[in-house]
Amino acid sequence: MTTKRLTLTDTEETLLICGEQDSNLKKIEKRFGVQIFARSSTLAIRGNPHRVDLAITLLEDIQNQIRLNRKNGRHGEPLPEFFIDAALSPASANPKVDVQDAVYKSPLGKIVRALSPNQKTYIDAIAKSDLVLADGPAGTGKTFLAVVSALKELHAGNVGRIVLTRPVVEAGEKLGFLPGDFYEKVNPYLKPLYDAFYALVGQERFRLYRDDETIEIVPLAYMRGRTLENAFVILDEAQNTTPEQMKMFLTRMGQRSKMVINGDVTQIDLQFKNKSGFTHALKVLKDISDIQFVRFAEEDVVRHALVRRILRAYVSESEKEPSQ
């Protein structure tokens, strides 16, 4: 058994966190199997250490949301149910869940685990190596687990920021032709990365990270001339880089940094598919011992069960086509 404490700012914050007649605290106690004692400006959470950590994480997220509301002039605004509902999901509170096996426990209480041997290999490779290249079909968790690993390194203090990038290659559209400000322009291209962060830390916390540049969003074309130090860098959709872009990106790596490069060699959108910088890098770098390579397969797909069958059908069809 352990006891941890959360300090509250004032009466308003205490009332909003506790809920009417301590309804929020009672829900958290029931779900996580802990005891919560409210004493003036302090909450004391007592119970199993792992369960206490989950409860503290949720309470801190609620507290951060209250403070964000105040900053935006919304004093006393009721808390969104999103925070409590997300962290009180059955997976977060299941007594049979062994938190020790978790890859990551998000600020929303979401517990993340590897769902296949290759996913475990991928996560371990990122932890051990400063540069990882992962190739595999859609739905294998490459992007999501890269984001999980980035947040884990950030929260452990191993890096100071996260940098997200990808080549802007989509159906003939170019970045400058899209409406809106910078973030609105790149949003369609980086949406899969955004979705992963939203699921793990929530939209508000993601925006806070983005606004103070703890998370930096950079189209690959803007990388030239930079040195990325003390950073966890994710390059997604790398199959759509040219060899020149890939070389440029790889040489941005600075001290105390990690890079994860994800791609799918079966989904190259470049005009000349044989000029992919990702496939080129897989060949050129294969003999460098400090670089880790992970290859996902159909059995690693963790989306809807139909996705595996769809991929299988496309592979089968491609094998029937005559070689050019």
Same domain? For 47 and 168 the reply is: no
pLDDT of 171 reads 41
Q: Is it the case that residue 28 has pLDDT exceeding 60?
A: yes
pLDDT of 186 reads 65
Q: Is it the case that residue 70 has pLDDT exceeding 70?
A: yes
pLDDT of 277 reads 93
Same domain? For 135 and 256 the reply is: yes
Q: Which pLDDT band, with edges at 50, 70 and 90, does 93 fall under?
A: very low
Same domain? For 101 and 154 the reply is: no
Query: To 10 degrees, the CA torsion angle through 154, 185, 142, 114?
Result: 50
User: Secondary structure of the chain in the HEC alphabet?
Assistant: CEEEEEECCCHHHHHHHHCHHHHHHHHHHHHHCCEEEEECCEEEEEECHHHHHHHHHHHHHHHHHHHHHHHCCCCCCCCCHHHHHHHCCHHHHCCCCCHHHCCEECCCCCEECCCCHHHHHHHHHHHHCCEEEEECCCCCCHHHHHHHHHHHHHHCCCCCEEEEECCCCECCECHHHCCCCHHHHHHHHHHHHHHHHHHHHCHHHHHHHHHCCCEEECCHHHCCCCCECCEEEEECCHHHCCHHHHHHHHCCECCCCEEEEEECCCCCCCCCHHHCHHHHHHHHCCCCCCEEEEECCHHHCCCCHHHHHHHHHHHHHHHHCCCC
Average pLDDT over residues 147-173: 83
Q: Is it the case that residue 303 has pLDDT exceeding 50?
A: yes
Same domain? For 64 and 132 the reply is: no
Same domain? For 159 and 141 the reply is: yes
Q: Is it the case that residue 319 has pLDDT exceeding 90?
A: no
Range of the domain at 248: 114-320
| Tens of pLDDT, residues 163-217 | 999 887 654 445 455 556 666 666 667 777 888 888 888 888 888 888 888 999 8
Q: Is it the case that residue 98 has pLDDT exceeding 50?
A: no
Same domain? For 201 and 312 the reply is: yes
pLDDT of 185 reads 64
Same domain? For 251 and 147 the reply is: yes
Same domain? For 130 and 97 the reply is: no
Q: Is it the case that residue 266 has pLDDT exceeding 50?
A: yes
Same domain? For 101 and 162 the reply is: no
More confident residue, 219 or 35: 35
Q: Which of 81, 105, 129 is the last residue of a domain?
A: 105
Same domain? For 80 and 137 the reply is: no
Whole-number average pLDDT of the chain: 81
pLDDT of 15 reads 86
Indicate if the alpha-carbon torsion angle 309, 310, 312, 317 is positive or negative. positive
Q: Which of 105, 132, 152 is the last residue of a domain?
A: 105
Query: What count of other Cβ atoms lies within 10 Å of the Cβ of residue 61?
Result: 24
Average pLDDT over residues 135-159: 90
Same domain? For 209 and 138 the reply is: yes
| Tens of pLDDT, residues 223-245 | 888 999 999 999 999 999 999 99
pLDDT of 94 reads 40
pLDDT of 222 reads 85
pLDDT of 57 reads 80
* CATH (domain of 72): 3.30.1370.10
Q: Is it the case that residue 96 has pLDDT exceeding 80?
A: no
pLDDT of 97 reads 36
Q: Number of folded domains in the chain?
A: 2
pLDDT of 103 reads 73
Q: Which of 76, 105, 134 is the last residue of a domain?
A: 105
pLDDT of 233 reads 97
Q: Is it the case that residue 95 has pLDDT exceeding 70?
A: no
pLDDT of 84 reads 55
Average pLDDT over residues 294-305: 76
pLDDT of 91 reads 40
What is the C-alpha to C-alpha distance for residues 176 and 305, in angstroms, rounded to an integer? 38
* CATH (domain of 307): 3.40.50.300
Of the chain, the percentage scoring pLDDT greater than 90 comes to 34
pLDDT of 172 reads 46
pLDDT of 116 reads 83
Same domain? For 123 and 99 the reply is: no
pLDDT of 90 reads 45
pLDDT of 276 reads 92
pLDDT of 211 reads 87
